Amino acid sequence: MSDVLGIVPAPLVVEPASQPPFVITRSTVVVVDADEELLPLAVLTADLLGRLTGRAVEIRHAEAGSPGVVRMRLAEDVLPGVEAYRVVVGSGRVLLEARSTEGLVHAVVTLRQLLRERPDGSVEVEAVRVEDAPRYPWRGLSVDVARHFVSVPDLKVVIGLMGHYKLNVLHLHLTDDQGWRLDMPSRPELVRRSAARSVDGDPGGYYSAADWDGILAFARARGIRVVPEIDVPGHVNAALHAYSELNPDGEPAEEYLGTEVGFSRLYDDLPATHAFLADVLGDLAEMTPGAYVHIGGDEVLTMEHAEYVRLVRAASAAVTAHGKRVVGWQEIAAVPDLPAGTVVQYWDMRVDPEPFVAAAAAGARILLSPGAKVYLDMRYEPGFPLGQEWAGTVDLRDAYEWEPATLVEGLPPEAVVGVGAAVWTETLRTLDDLTTMLLPRLAAVAEVAWSAPARRDFDDFAERLRSHGRHWDRMGLAWHPSRQGRWD
């Protein structure tokens, strides 16, 4: 691709136009139909342009004609797909079109990536036509807020970054051995007893119901759905600490602030276990506007297979009883007769792919989160001060140069629902730690998930990404200038 306009992920079509650029001036306004759905996005756009130019940008309702407008509208003649969009920049106006608000969000992000500061401090946009649509409908980021709690303001920064790279699914790993991070109406002791600390005794925290609504709304305004996870039947020490009846001896488990995995578990033969699953997964389903609830299912190292199957079935039933679809880590692929439409999140490339192929043949969809490619808690290189290395090191090129359609041997390409990066927080304590691991690799994963194979090329990507380092600097975000990137 020859354009160096810096759009990441690479759009399907970018055609520079031979016109002078659009300049944002005192008279620039955002024009939008008086449509309730579109108004919040128009506000975000006006805010953004206003902040960049240092003057308030007004919103007007559809009035054709006048130059100097950023026109936003729903249209049917864009590329196929609910998220498709078009951006046309001419010297007199900017046109943003899509058939849904999700598509329009992508158009706004593309516009934002096209903005250039001029030497006199004003802002311009190169004249260009962009026609674009994603390759996969599920482009995710999994964030572990259990090992180290991520505050609402910090999480909003991460959500903003996801939006900037057109990722559309935020998966929150809300519970683990070390902490329970969402207040559940049916089980108030969970956050009362098991949320105060993080790994190593670092400060903890949890999301109240009001926090949760705020997170959902902030994500939604950026075209991002939230998939919440309660991890069962393993990774449950925080629950065993808060509710003694979940333990066979009736004694509460000790608080755990280390980083081992696989030691804690629920017990199928305790009636309290089944009441607990129905309560917390029922609460979670009711607190989730999206279609999916994640039940975990990973790394249960101290349980017979038959008991694992019974517990995963109980968890799945609690989710489907509330009209939601199930997502689970790859281990659930070994459970026969998963509910229709279950999403299996593939993560450990060291295991035999046969169960995923079989699950897909039985109707499951596969979300690709291969540790060795998209686990963004892996170190960039040996000796990197943050992160782990169990799946190897993952530098920018590793996160970029892989092909979702052929990654899992024997899996039909149409079984792949998308790509999800993940960031586990055993070693990540602060927002700076988190963004250092996300940037620049999150941009690479986003391009794998969004861009057509024919548009993907690492050198071209690195060139388009060059200007993004300046953007992260301006935003005050910590990032890692990988030697595989090109930075100014």
The β-bridge partners of 29 are 58, 69
Q: Length of the chain in residues, anyone?
A: 488
Among 85, 136, 276, 424, binds ligand TNX (CB under 6 A): 424
Which residue lies nearer to ligand TNX by CB, 133 or 319? 319
Q: Which two tokens stand for residue 135?
A: 């390759």
CB of 298 to ligand TNX, least distance (A): 3
Which residue lies nearer to ligand TNX by CB, 200 or 279? 200
The answer to whether 344 touches 364, Cβ cutoff 8 Å, is yes
Give the dihedral of Cα atoms 294, 298, 302, 306; nearest 10 deg: 70
Q: How many angstroms separate the Cα of 297 from the Cα of each of 107, 229, 330?
A: 37, 10, 8
Specify the amino acid at residue 356. Answer: F
The answer to whether 433 touches 480, Cβ cutoff 8 Å, is no
Spatial neighbors of 435 by CB under 8 A, at least 6 apart, are 157, 158, 161, 472, 477, 478, 479
Is residue 102 among the annotated active site residues?
Answer: no
Which residue lies nearer to ligand TNX by CB, 211 or 299? 299
> Distance (Å, rounded) from C-alpha 102 to C-alpha 116?
24
CB of 330 to ligand TNX, least distance (A): 8
CB of 376 to ligand TNX, least distance (A): 10
CB of 261 to ligand TNX, least distance (A): 5
Site string (216-255) toward ligand TNX, x via CB under 6 A: ----------------------------------------
Which residue lies nearer to ligand TNX by CB, 426 or 447? 426
Which residue lies nearer to ligand TNX by CB, 261 or 478? 261
Q: Is 256 in the site for ligand TNX (CB under 6 A)?
A: no
Site string (367-396) toward ligand TNX, x via CB under 6 A: --------x-x----------x--------
Specify the amino acid at residue 18. Answer: S
The answer to whether 290 touches 312, Cβ cutoff 8 Å, is no
Which residue lies nearer to ligand TNX by CB, 145 or 159? 145
Which residue lies nearer to ligand TNX by CB, 52 or 261? 261
Which residue lies nearer to ligand TNX by CB, 10 or 376? 376
Specify the amino acid at residue 466. Answer: R
Q: Is 261 in the site for ligand TNX (CB under 6 A)?
A: yes
Q: Which helix (H) or strand (E) holds 171?
A: strand 169-173
Q: How many residues bind ligand TNX (CB under 6 A)?
A: 11
CB of 193 to ligand TNX, least distance (A): 22
CB of 315 to ligand TNX, least distance (A): 15
CB of 422 to ligand TNX, least distance (A): 7
CB of 359 to ligand TNX, least distance (A): 16
> Distance (Å, rounded) from C-alpha 296 to C-alpha 347?
12
> Distance (Å, rounded) from C-alpha 363 to C-alpha 339?
9
Q: Is 298 in the site for ligand TNX (CB under 6 A)?
A: yes
> Distance (Å, rounded) from C-alpha 125 to C-alpha 481?
26
The answer to whether 376 touches 421, Cβ cutoff 8 Å, is yes
The answer to whether 318 touches 286, Cβ cutoff 8 Å, is no
Residue whose structure tokens are 């598509």 = 103
Among 207, 329, 450, 461, binds ligand TNX (CB under 6 A): 329
Q: Which helix (H) or strand (E) holds 417?
A: strand 416-423
Site for ligand TNX in 428-467 (CB under 6 A): none
Q: What is the CB neighbour count within 10 angstroms for residue 76?
A: 7
Q: Which two tokens stand for residue 186?
A: 């049916």
CB of 426 to ligand TNX, least distance (A): 6
CB of 172 to ligand TNX, least distance (A): 14
Q: Which of 299, 307, 389, 463 is catalytic?
A: 299
Which residue lies nearer to ligand TNX by CB, 163 or 328? 328
Q: Is 308 in the site for ligand TNX (CB under 6 A)?
A: no
Which residue lies nearer to ligand TNX by CB, 53 or 264? 264
- Omega before 9 within 30 of 0, i.e. cis: yes
> Distance (Å, rounded) from C-alpha 193 to C-alpha 252?
11
> Distance (Å, rounded) from C-alpha 122 to C-alpha 52?
9
> Distance (Å, rounded) from C-alpha 465 to C-alpha 443?
8
Q: Is 349 in the site for ligand TNX (CB under 6 A)?
A: no
- End-to-end C-alpha distance for the chain, whole angstroms: 20
> Distance (Å, rounded) from C-alpha 31 to C-alpha 248?
63
Among 202, 211, 299, 389, binds ligand TNX (CB under 6 A): 299
Q: Is 347 in the site for ligand TNX (CB under 6 A)?
A: yes
The shares of helix, strand and coil residues in the chain, as percent rounded to the nearest 5, are 35, 20, 45
Task: List the catalytic residues.
Answer: 299
- Residues of this chain that interact with ligand TNX (CB under 6 A) are 144, 261, 298-299, 329, 347, 375, 377, 388, 424, 426
